[in-house]
Every structure is written in structure tokens, then in C-alpha cells.
Amino acid sequence: MVPLKRRRSSVAVETGSDRTPSRFPQVLFLLERKMGASRRTFLSQLGRKKGFQVEEEFSDRVTHLISENNSADEVRSWLEAQVRGRGSAEVQLLDVGWYTESMRAGRPVEIQDAHKLQEETNEDEVVLFSVPSYACQRRTTLENHNTSLTDPLSLLAENAELTEEEGRAVAFRRAVAVLKVLPVAVTDVSQLRGLPCLGEHMLRVIRDVLENGASREAQSTEGSQRFKALKTLTGIFGVGAKTADRWIREGIYDLDQLRASGQTLNRAQQAGLEHYDHLNEPVTRADADAIAEIVEAAVTSELPGAHITLTGGFRRGKQSGHDVDFLITHPEEGREVGLMEKIVSWLESKGLLLYQKTTRNSYLESKDGPGRPASNMDRFERCLSIFKLEERGGGGTEEEEEEKKKEDRRWRAVRVDLVVSPISQFAFALLGWTGSKLFERELRRWAGHEKLMSLSSHALYDNSKSKYLRASSEEEIFALLGLDYIPPSERNA
């Protein structure tokens, strides 16, 4: 057999003076196979800068062997050829995802199942569905064949959000998104073999539904006094999980108790409480179109030539939603400055706003860009509002129309978000505001982990080239990210 291949002199690397002293005991080695030499060099250097021990050559010191797009079998045969009987049982075989997450965390992160290399399946363990692991690599329409599974898991996700367990919430949301893309209804857990994002906890819930017709965990959560109170209280516009939790600890569980408590409410919360029923009724597509006409009229009257685009769930083809989202821009950079104030005055003068709060654009590329952690908070000029929408007859079913007449209801309150973007950031704003929330989160995770880029609703920054990547359409952004283009109707993850 040929001796161990020596690609480069290891001397310079081992004693190189640019090397930060190692801060962690793990000895890492990145496999060039399928990763490519330049990416391997780049990632290795990045690791060393962060104080990781990343070896240039494989040796028996290596504790963590990291590879990309390799199966466990492939790496094992490579390893056997290197060590030739010198025992390599101790080496962890990990996916590059573990490495990039560790870079991000600035320390070796805990090894999860998803970080370990996939075993190739035997013929009798057929994988039925092949689903890529990031939601932004998948086409998710509104069609869902597995609502009996996704409903309880979504409820558990919602509960985790309401109790501010972010990590758990995301795990549930990811599992839901995987089940949503399956082309048929799952009848047996064995069909789920090989699917990403379905850990122990998820499978327990799924098994429960398949075997017993319902998830006991979801049922007991739904029935719990705390969940009900959190849902009721956060149903008030302007009330988040933190405030709801504080009120519950003070013995406030419902709206009557809140009204009786004498709690001071801010302006948003007062409006939220006043219009509680309207705001908790789904907004229909017809409502959204009616609001669009009004916003169009306001924008045209204040700045002819400006464009408005319906974003959010309605752009993805949903027939109902909790609010209506609009993105406004002007084809000439700078003309959009000051527009929001004018739109709001126009709407107010016509008595169309029940509440509004406008925040100024605080984005400055030189300050905010790449250094900021990926987040879905953006800094556009934005108006959070409650519209007073005049009811037009004939919109609902006969019963609904009867009901409205009885209430003598001539209008309803609707939550509307207006966002103004400069044209140079428009494509990013459109992509960011179209959602779904999970789709956006997954896009940012893909950008960060797989491409070493930072994506926001303002810009895309390439960390390895230290520069901004410009784009004037969503298609271009997907291309820059190395992803197939997914149209809005297939972003319903």
C-alpha cells in the first residue's frame, strides 16, 4: 500500500505564527472529498481564527472528522484507507453543519443526531419520501395531506412560542413544515424513515395520533388554563407573551379580569382591547382587496408613480389571514422618503384609521449590515395600524349578512401593516415580507450555514468575500443563494 498521502508540508501549518492558540480540546479535520479544496481551506482557516484545532493532515490525534455531502459509509471507507488497522473507532463522523454551527457559536456545539452522518439504508429499509432539510429548498403549497399530524404539532409550537421556548417552538415548526410537503397522508411511522427534523419528541406525538387518534400532549396543553389564558391575552393587539405572563402571575386570565384589574394599558393595547372581537376574526381575501384599493388611493394621491404590493400570507395565495401586509416603493430612489407620513395623514383625514403607530426607517448599511446577527427584525419605515373598513354588502354568506344587520354593523376593524422600502432594497424587502415566517427563517439559516452569507430584509452580504450582493428581483436573490427559485405560492412552509 502507498503511504499516507502528503498534500502539503505540514510544518508551516503546525507552527504558523498566525495561529490563535487552541481554546478547545477537540481536534478537527475537514475532508476535502466533495467539499472541494478551496472551501476546505477557507473553512479550516476560519476555524483556526476562532481558536479551534483544525488539522491540515489526518492523524490519530483527530477526534472529529467533518465532511460535506458524504454518507457515513463513504467516510468510513476513506478513513480505513488512511489508518489501515490503526483503530479509528474514537473518531466522530460529522456533517459540516456541526462545524458551521460551532463557528457561529464560537465553541464546539453539542453533537445532535442531525449532525451525525446519515447511514445508507438497506434495501428493506426503503426511504419513501426524500425531503431536503431546509424549508427554502422545498415547494410547500397550501395543500396539506397531514393536518391530523400538523394541527397538534402546530399547537405545541404555539404553546412553546407563548411560553418563550424559542428552540422548542422552531423544532415543532420545522417538523410541521416537513409533514406539510408529503404528497400523501401518513398512516404509519415507518413511512417517515429518513425524513429531516423529526426527532424523538415529534415522533412520539405522531405515533400517538396514528395509534390513538389524538395527541395526549397536545390535548392536555390545549385544555390547560395557562395556555387558554396566554392565547386570550396575547389575542389582544399590542400584548406579547411577556406581558401576558406577567398578568397571569397577577391572577388575570381573561378580558373581564383585565378590565377589572385597572392595569395601565398602552395606546396599542387599549385599541386592541376595544376591537378584540373584530381583530380575532380572520381577515378575508375580499377584505384584503378592499383595503388594497384604499391604500392604492392614498398612495396615488400623495406620490403618483409609487407602487404598492400586497405581501404576507395573501401574496402566498392564502384566502384568510390575521392582517394585511403592504410594501410600498418608488422606482426612483429617494422619492419614497417622507411618503409614509403623507399616506397616514391622508388616511386619517378620511377617518379610516382606528389606530396607527409609525416607526422611522433606521437602516444604515454602513452600520447595520453584515455585523448584525441574522434576525427578522427589520428597520424599514413602518406603520402598524388598525383600519376602519366599511362593510360592503354581499361579501359574506346569507347568515353572515343577517348577523351583520342584527348587529347593525357597518364596518369592521382590520390590522394592516404598511412598509416603505427604497427601490434598491425592494427585492429583499419583498422576499422578507412574503413569508412564511418559517420559510424566512430557513432562508437566513441556509444563507448563514451553507453559504456563509447574511440575509436580511434589507440586503445580502457575503462574509467570505466581505461584500454586499445586489439584487433587483427575488429570482436573483435565490440564484445568489444557490437555491432554485420558489414562487410565493410554494413558500407556505
d(CA 338, CA 481) in angstroms, rounded, equals 33
Task: Identify what 372 binds: Mn ion, ligand UTP, none; CB under 5 to 8 Å per kind.
Answer: none
**Is residue 132 classed as helix, strand or coil in its secondary structure?**
coil
* Cell 426607517 belongs to residue: 361
Establish whether 325 is a catalytic residue.
yes
Return residues touching ligand UTP (CB under 6 A).
312-313, 318, 321-323, 325, 376, 378, 432-433, 435-437, 440, 457
Task: Identify what 378 binds: Mn ion, ligand UTP, none; CB under 5 to 8 Å per kind.
Answer: ligand UTP
Q: How many CB atoms lie within 10 A of CB 84?
A: 10
- What residue number has its CB nearest to Mn ion? 312
Query: Quick one: how far is CA 317 from the chain centroid?
Result: 19
Q: How many CB atoms lie within 10 A of CB 168?
A: 16
Indicate the helix (H) or strand (E) that contains 386. strand 381-390
d(CA 398, CA 415) in angstroms, rounded, equals 25
d(CA 104, CA 99) in angstroms, rounded, equals 9
CB of 310 to ligand UTP, least distance (A): 10
Eight-state DSSP code of residue 374: P
Catalytic residue among 95, 287, 323, 378: 323
- Measured from the CB atom, the residue of 281 and 302 that comes closer to Mn ion is 281
Task: Pick from 47, 108, 312, 448 the residue near Mn ion by CB under 5 A.
Answer: 312
Task: Identify what 440 binds: ligand UTP, Mn ion, none; CB under 5 to 8 Å per kind.
Answer: ligand UTP
Q: Report the number of secondary-structure helices (H) and strands (E) in the chain.
A: 21, 14
The verdict on 287 binding Mn ion (CB under 5 A) reads no
CB of 314 to ligand UTP, least distance (A): 7
CB of 47 to ligand UTP, least distance (A): 32
d(CA 315, CA 90) in angstroms, rounded, equals 51
- Measured from the CB atom, the residue of 382 and 451 that comes closer to Mn ion is 382
CB of 376 to ligand UTP, least distance (A): 5
d(CA 182, CA 131) in angstroms, rounded, equals 8
Indicate the helix (H) or strand (E) that contains 153. helix 147-162
The verdict on 323 binding Mn ion (CB under 5 A) reads yes
Establish whether 124 is a catalytic residue.
no
Catalytic residue among 151, 368, 417, 462: 417
Of the listed pieces 93-101, 158-166, 179-187, 311-319, which binds Mn ion according to CB under 5 A?
Answer: 311-319
- Measured from the CB atom, the residue of 30 and 271 that comes closer to Mn ion is 271
CB of 87 to ligand UTP, least distance (A): 50
Of the listed pieces 19-27, 126-134, 297-305, 321-329, which binds Mn ion according to CB under 5 A?
Answer: 321-329
- Measured from the CB atom, the residue of 98 and 433 that comes closer to ligand UTP is 433
Of the listed pieces 138-146, 158-166, 246-254, 305-313, which binds Mn ion according to CB under 5 A?
Answer: 305-313
CB of 312 to Mn ion, least distance (A): 3
Strand 460-462 and strand 453-455: pairing?
antiparallel
**Is residue 206 classed as helix, strand or coil in its secondary structure?**
helix
Task: Identify what 376 binds: Mn ion, ligand UTP, none; CB under 5 to 8 Å per kind.
Answer: ligand UTP
Tell me the C-alpha to C-alpha distance, in Å, between residue 106 and each of 47, 51, 100: 9, 8, 10
Find the angle CA(264)-CA(325)-CA(438) to the nearest 5 degrees.
90
**With CB under 5 A, what is the number of residues at the site for Mn ion?**
5
Please provide residue 295's backbone torsions phi and psi, each rounded to the nearest 5 degrees.
-65, -40
- Measured from the CB atom, the residue of 383 and 471 that comes closer to Mn ion is 383
CB of 322 to ligand UTP, least distance (A): 4
57's CB contacts (< 8 A; 6+ apart) are: 4, 6, 7, 10, 29
Q: So which residues are the catalytic ones?
A: 323, 325, 417
Contacting positions for Mn ion (CB under 5 A):
312-313, 321, 323, 325
